[in-house]
Amino acid sequence: MKIRQSFLTETYYSHMHEFLTADTSKLEKAELTADSIEQADSLRAMLMADNEFFSWVLSYTAGKRLSDLSSQFESVVLAYERYQKAQGLFQRDSLISPLGLENLEDYERSLQLISIAILIGRLDLFERLVNIIDPSYRSEDALYEEIVGKIQPGRANLEEWYHDQPYRTLLDAIDAEDKQSAANLLSQYCKIWYPAFKSCPWHNSHLSMTSTEGTYFGYWAFEAGAVTYLYGIDDSQINHMVYPKDLVAYARNKKEQDGSQLKVYAGEPCPRSGYWFCSAKQNSLQYFKQGVIMPTFPESKWGATIWYWSRDS
């Protein structure tokens, strides 16, 4: 593995990966102190989701192959779906989002999650993540809508967002009048990204890590990569530590390989056997054989039903 950030060593990765795996196993059986069973289950699910996310980011930072990370990310999404369900039972609100966009750390986590799904080409996982964020926060934040809207057309066009710093600069990159301005703003965003999170617990975590223990998993502006990929921004001069450049290149290469098979309209024959999903219906991922007519959902609010390619198996 080729380590992607210099703070991390193979020894640290090995020990922390084992710790996160063992901690998740312990949490499954642990009796947590809480006022109710539902609250304990919600806390357990939150901690397990954190572990799955940290493990994925740690693996990316350590240099694990992107093809392997694509498969591993499904466990992260499943953990957040379980967290949403547990939180819903505790709060008696089945549509509650497990991550609140009002909180800066949770907001960044939400953007990181959907951005990773986009960049690894797992639009089925992207859809599942949007399904647990949308019920509470659809049409409330400009940057979230700008990212999701490139995959799901018809999203809201907003001039409001929850957190001005550092995200205004990334929004400016999206709205830039020319390619050079967009590239310059992207570079600026990468420079201001890390200092903007000085209030978050993970900030400067590399300073307290030992050779085998710590809370450092990697510092990554995955949302910058997603915006670059989705909006065609030139990142050839971007080499900042927090920018996931190889992940953006992976997304671009995957898009070229998928080519015209990436999407198909309802009523047209399926161009390739495999799993497809659409934004018109929740939990729509299903297998279609080549030549089968793709179904439509006339009751949907999305307009024309478009099916997106997910994977072979």
Q: Are residues 271 and 236 in the same domain?
A: no
Q: Are residues 21 and 157 in the same domain?
A: yes
- In the predicted model, residues of the chain with pLDDT beneath 50 are 260-261
pLDDT tens-digit series, residues 109-119: 999 999 999 99
Q: Are residues 271 and 149 in the same domain?
A: no
* Count of domains for the chain: 2
Predicted local confidence at residue 260, as pLDDT: 45
Predicted local confidence at residue 297, as pLDDT: 83
Predicted local confidence at residue 265, as pLDDT: 85
pTM for the predicted model, two decimal places: 0.86
Instruction: Evaluate whether 242 touches 194 at the Cβ level (below 8 Å).
Output: yes
Identify whether 68 is part of a domain. yes
Predicted local confidence at residue 15, as pLDDT: 98
pLDDT tens-digit series, residues 261-310: 468 888 899 988 888 888 667 678 889 999 999 998 877 655 568 888 77
Q: Are residues 63 and 191 in the same domain?
A: yes
Predicted local confidence at residue 129, as pLDDT: 95
Q: Which residues span the domain enclosing 201?
A: 10-261
Identify whether 248 is part of a domain. yes
CATH number of the domain that residue 178 is part of: 1.10.3920.10
Identify whether 249 is part of a domain. yes
SS3 275: strand
Q: Are residues 170 and 286 in the same domain?
A: no
CA–CA separation, 57 and 63 (whole Å): 10
Among 277, 272, 274, which residue's Cα sits nearest to residue 261? 272
Torsion of CA 72, 111, 126, 161, to 10 degrees: 170
Q: Are residues 237 and 294 in the same domain?
A: no
Predicted local confidence at residue 258, as pLDDT: 64
Counting Cα atoms < 13 Å in the Cβ hemisphere of 106 gives: 13
Q: Are residues 255 and 289 in the same domain?
A: no
Q: Are residues 197 and 183 in the same domain?
A: yes
As a whole number of Å, the end-to-end CA separation of the chain is: 26
Identify whether 227 is part of a domain. yes
Q: Are residues 283 and 296 in the same domain?
A: yes
Predicted local confidence at residue 281, as pLDDT: 73
> What angle is formed at CA 204 by the lines to CA 201 and CA 208, rounded to 5 degrees?
95
Q: Are residues 95 and 46 in the same domain?
A: yes
Identify whether 4 is part of a domain. no
